[in-house]
Amino acid sequence: MKNKTKIIGILNITDDSFSDGGKYLEISKAINHIKTMILNGCCIIDIGAESTKPGFKEVSADNQLLRILPIINEIKKIKDDVKISVDTRSSVVAELVLKEGATIINDVSGGKSDKNMFDVIAKYKAEVILTHMPDEHLESSTATYDNILKYLEDYFNKLIKHACLCGIDRKDIIIDPGICFGKSGNDNIKILKNMKYLALVFTRLCIGVSNKRFSSEIFDNINDDEMHIAALTVSTLATCSQVEFLRVHNVEANRDAVEIAWKTINS
């Protein structure tokens, strides 16, 4: 059995993220939230200054850095062994945050948005989370696939090959299939049902369903304040499926789900 699934705590310092936009723009509120997430057991803080909701608008590198750099400095003061990930599609942002102590770049575009991104990641020998996000996501629409698993396998194999040719070490590449990013409910469910297969194919897998309505059938009679139930269920299944990372908003509850699942399958 692989190591226990790790929790990535989400810190959105954005105006318009779909679930917590504007909530942590004040640095004092952001720091309090970071302290809580660390106390509750996350090993990585993922900072994002650009929303990735359907049809999201680009945020300039300068504006991203104005929000992100002070947070990185504060995290290092709180606990210097917590890994810092930055959710950005900009190589300019990536370069400066890696200089300041971040060690992971979470690029939802899979390196497609900025041709210099892979070169910067290779330069700093950083880890990278590569997400599948089709153009349809930017248009608030849904892409159609004959076989989403086969498509993702081909897509990521080509992307990994390109990243390695740019100098990124294969062991530093983490794959995120992009639940809810331009995908139908059925395709989202098919990905979740096959997490164990994807973890076997790509070794390092990150799953993020926190606060997402990834299937209208599942969420037909569920209110917004009940969506955490689905996230906890997925966290449990992901742990049993050897997923390495879960990217979540509620660290404490998902950590408990991981702990219970881990102890159960190893008892």
Mean pLDDT by 10 residues, the chain (267 residues): 89 68 78 94 94 83 95 89 95 98 97 97 98 87 94 98 98 96 93 97 93 64 72 93 96 96 94
pLDDT at 17: 46
- Token digits of residue 144: 């159609």
Angle between helices 27-39 and 61-78 (to 10 degrees): 50
pLDDT at 130: 98
Q: Which residues contact 226 (CB under 8 A, 6 or more apart)?
A: none
pLDDT at 49: 92
Q: Which residues contact 240 (CB under 8 A, 6 or more apart)?
A: 196, 261, 265
pLDDT at 69: 96
pLDDT at 224: 66
pLDDT at 218: 63
State whether the Cα torsion 95-81-200-230 is positive or negative.
Answer: negative
CA atoms within 13 A on the CB side of 161: 6
DSSP 8-state symbol, 226 = G
* Cross-strand pairs, 10: 46
pTM of the model: 0.92
pLDDT at 216: 62
> Which residue stretches of 126-169 are H helix?
135-138, 148-165
Domains and CATH numbers, the chain: 6-265 (3.20.20.20)
